[in-house]
Amino acid sequence: MESLDLHKISVRDLNHFLHKEAPAKGVKQVEVLNPDGAHNIAAGMDYATTIDIQGHGGYYVGGMNKHADITVHGNVGWGVAENMMSGSVRVKGFASESAGASGHGGTLIIEGDASLRCGISMKGIDIVVGGNVGNFSCFMAQAGRLVVCGDAGDGLGDSLYEAVIYVKGKIKSLGADARVEEMTDADYAAVKELLDRAGFKHDPKEFKRVASAKTLYNWNADANQEY
């Protein structure tokens, strides 16, 4: 294991090590000390390694991640795991806005709450939130799954496409074209698999399914439709 201290090196130096030196040396585990809310930690990873960030991260922790398994032992700012392709990011605390934005793959696990626009424009990522999510989560989400073990704010799933949302708690309001649908056996199995992946103990039968009504798929200016 390699241990790097952000009191002694810059984030640029850390990311250079993660991108260039760690793969060359075959490093399988990296510990990041004293992150102190720094931005862009472990961004752009393209190497299968385990990264433990011992403290709070700033914006875009694990952004564009591919292959790496990243754990933040604290809270994170905007855009954690933004545009992630594969691998995993786990946040032991809370996440600020736009968690998992535009994510194409992999798994984002947030053990606490997530703020506004969690999963905005997601394109295949799986997101599991142990607490609540803020307003307009999964706005324009195109593919992937969001599991919310707490409550959801206003405008959940606004302009949703093919992504699916599972919520255990209360939904303050649904966004345009989002609707609650009946859970199927396949949904219960999907929720169980995602909860097991996250390590959360909940009964899948307590969750509701939210998906697109598909009325916005084809816009007709003469049909008195409204966004």
Tally of CB atoms within 10 A around 203:
11
**According to CATH, what is the number of the domain 2-212?**
2.160.20.60
What does pTM read for this prediction?
A: 0.96
Q: Where are the domains of the chain?
A: 2-212
CA 104/CA 162 separation, integer angstroms: 13
pLDDT digits (tens, 9 = 90+) for 117-130: 999 999 999 999 99
pLDDT exceeds cutoff 80 at 227: no
Q: What digits encode the pLDDT tens for the residues 117-173?
A: 999 999 999 999 999 999 999 999 999 999 999 999 999 999 999 999 999 999 999
User: Phi-psi region for residue 181, left (φ > 0), alpha (ψ -120 to 50) or beta?
Assistant: beta
∠ CA 143-141-144, nearest 5°, is 30
How confident is residue 188, by pLDDT bands cut at 50, 70 and 90? very high
pLDDT of amino acid 217: 79
The token pair at 200 is 């959360």
**Per the structure block, which two tokens stand in for 156?**
């959940």
Q: Tokens standing for 107?
A: 């798994």
